[in-house]
Amino acid sequence: MRTSTDGRSTRWDQHRTTRRRELVDATLRAIRKHGAAVGMDDIAATAGTSKTVFYRHFTDRTGLYAAVSDSVDARILRDLGLALGAAADDLTTVTSSPRALIAAAIAAYLTLVDKDPEVYRFVVNAPLLDRHTGGDPAAPVTSHIAEQMSALVAQALAAAGRDPEAASVWGPGLVGMVRAAADQWLAAPRTMTLDQLTEHLTDLAWSGLSAAWPARS
């Protein structure tokens, strides 16, 4: 009897997980169709259901925003990992051209901004929320990216025989710089391409980070 109950519970948990994923996917479609300021009515219509169903699965708008942010967070981290892995595969060691790894990380972030601007605005500006509870609503996303960047820089510094302690502040600093530039790039008329912006930001970041690596003889 207990096994049967546990089985039903497991199936229900799986159903809830699947349904939440479907509703998040529908929200992303609605954002791309109606823009970052999309309302719950349009989100529910895109999903072919009611707002009540959304609130049943996410409690409120804040819960839905958090779920969408988690989805975008996972996508950025996946793309960032793929970009860094591809860059590292082209190098003899992680220290042979750390600038290329920095460029790959910046490009991975900016690619989301360029290809999915409304979703990016939705996460960064959080227009779905009636009011922010304090702080930066996109902090969980950017902090995860910063953690990955800090780990990358720390690995490269350690491999070069340098103290990796500074990596804990360089990661967040790098992400903050790229995010600020990306927000400006997205808001203003396009005067430069994605590749040009990536190059400018890489030059700026590397002018400081390069001091940590010994000159190659």
Average pLDDT, the chain: 84
* Domain assignment of residue 37, given as a range: 1-58
At 1, list the tokens. Answer: 């009897």
| Residue 54 sits in the same domain as residue 89 | no
Give the phi and the psi of residue 93 in degrees, each rounded to 5: -140, 170
Residue 86 has a pLDDT of 67
Q: What is the CATH number of the domain that holds 205?
A: 1.10.357.10
| Residue 50 sits in the same domain as residue 107 | no
| Residue 186 sits in the same domain as residue 110 | yes
DSSP secondary structure code for residue 127 in this structure: T
Q: What would the pLDDT profile of 27-59 be if each residue is shown by its tens digit? A: 999 999 999 999 999 999 999 999 999 999 999
| Residue 23 sits in the same domain as residue 71 | no
Q: From the CB of residue 211, how many other CB atoms can be counted at a distance below 10 Å?
A: 8
Q: What is the CATH number of the domain that holds 10?
A: 1.10.10
Residue 217 has a pLDDT of 39
| Residue 103 sits in the same domain as residue 189 | yes
Residue 89's pLDDT band (boundaries 50, 70, 90)?
low
State yes or no: pLDDT of 216 exceeds 80: no
> What is the average pLDDT across 200-214?
81
How far is Cα 135 from Cα 141, in angstroms, rounded to an integer? Answer: 13
Would you say residue 82 lies in a domain?
yes
Q: What would the pLDDT profile of 183-201 be if each residue is shown by its tens digit? A: 999 988 888 999 999 999 9
Residue 198 has a pLDDT of 95
- Last residue in a domain, options 27, 42, 58: 58
Would you say residue 86 lies in a domain?
yes
| Residue 38 sits in the same domain as residue 70 | no
State yes or no: pLDDT of 92 exceeds 60: no
| Residue 106 sits in the same domain as residue 199 | yes
Q: What would the pLDDT profile of 148-190 be if each residue is shown by its tens digit? A: 888 877 877 777 777 888 888 888 999 999 999 999 999 888 8
Residue 4 has a pLDDT of 52
How far is Cα 133 from Cα 76, in angstroms, rounded to an integer? Answer: 24
Would you say residue 217 lies in a domain?
no
Would you say residue 135 lies in a domain?
yes
Q: pTM for the full model?
A: 0.80
